[in-house]
Amino acid sequence: MHFDILTLFPEMFAGPLTASILGKAQKSGLVSVDVWNIRDHALDKHKIVDDTPYGGGAGMVLKVDVLVRAIEAVKGDSETPVIYLSPQGQVFNQDMAAQLAKLPRLILLSGHYEEIDERVRQHWVDFELSIGDYVLTGGELPAMVVVDAVTRLLPGVLGDESSFQQDSFQNGLLDHPHYTRPATFRGMNVPEVLLSGHHDNIARYRLKEALRRTIMRRPDLLEKKDLSMEERQLLDELAAEFSAEGRVNTNESD
Ligand code: SAM
């Protein structure tokens, strides 16, 4: 898969894109990333990319002509979708990451300052993605978030394919708790079942703990999930445990 990132600050990408799994995925040719400087498409001698907003008001607006030249230079005649990172976009989630991971190529447009010219959004952007309901300085961090979340879903990127299958959101639940050696630390023991070597019991324990965590932290996820028979049984067990504990609400901190 190939990502083209359009930005005014290409230098921001060096660290995150070269380290760890993203760096390895690029070295092994599973993914490639080109970071393009929008400023290279400003034609005047001062390389101006922004201007004051028509109608007045605070902040600077990225210019339509510069952005369109940048997008067209990268997109060429291809059908590659252009995604604008924007707090006004659809909120990015694991399902969207999985959909994007099926595409051969994506163009990610990072905005900056007050906004980009609206005409770019209307005519050159295919869809907008937000990484959450807060406003960042620029679309660079959101672009990195999208590249990271999509890349780790590509076949061959994670050493063990099953590791993302159990991740939070992958099957509509949060991930179960994890432990590693030592089995006892300052009197705190790892749950016995994990040391038993009994794979069915371990799988059942993990599913139950994933359900417990999801009810406590993200009950909204369970409302959307098609539950299997086993999941229903485990939820019944959890309900019985909660009622024995006298727990009436689902907040773990209570
Ligand atoms: N005036 C804009 C608004 O209120 O919708 C916010 C502009 S923000 C200061 C500058 C740039 O940061 C945006 O053009 C966008 O590319 C990026 N950005 C900020 N927050 C974001 C978010 N939550 N998700 C994705 N991109 C974001």
pLDDT of residue 248: 60
88 in contact with ligand 1, CB cutoff 6 A: yes
Q: Is 114 a catalytic residue?
A: yes
**Does the fold of domain 166-254 match that of domain 2-151?**
no
From 4, 10, 140, 152, active-site residue: 152
220 is catalytic: no
> 85: CA distance to ligand 1 center in Å?
7
CATH number of 2-151: 3.40.1280.10
Classify domain 166-254 by CATH architecture.
Answer: Orthogonal Bundle (1.10)
Using CA positions, which residue lies closest to atom 12 of ligand 1? 138
Residue 227 phi, psi dihedral angles, 5° rounding: -90, 140
Domain ranges within the chain, ordered by starting residue: 2-151, 166-254
Please indicate whether residue 167 is annotated as part of the active site: yes
pLDDT at 163: 76
Per-residue pLDDT of the chain (254 residues; tens, 9 = 90+): 999 999 999 999 999 999 999 999 999 999 999 999 999 999 999 999 999 999 999 999 999 999 999 999 999 999 999 999 999 999 999 999 999 999 999 999 999 999 999 999 999 999 999 999 999 999 999 999 999 999 999 999 998 777 788 899 989 999 999 999 999 999 999 999 999 999 999 999 999 999 999 999 999 999 999 999 999 999 999 999 999 998 765 555 44
Catalytic one among 115, 128, 167, 175?
167
Q: Which residues have C-beta within 8 Å of that of residue 10, sequence separation ≥ 6?
A: 35, 36, 37
Yes or no: say if 41 and 73 are a contact pair by the CB < 8 Å rule: yes
SS3 205: helix
Separation of CA 112 and ligand 1 centre (Å): 7
Global pTM reads 0.93
Contact in structure between 107 and 82 (CB atoms under 8 Å): yes
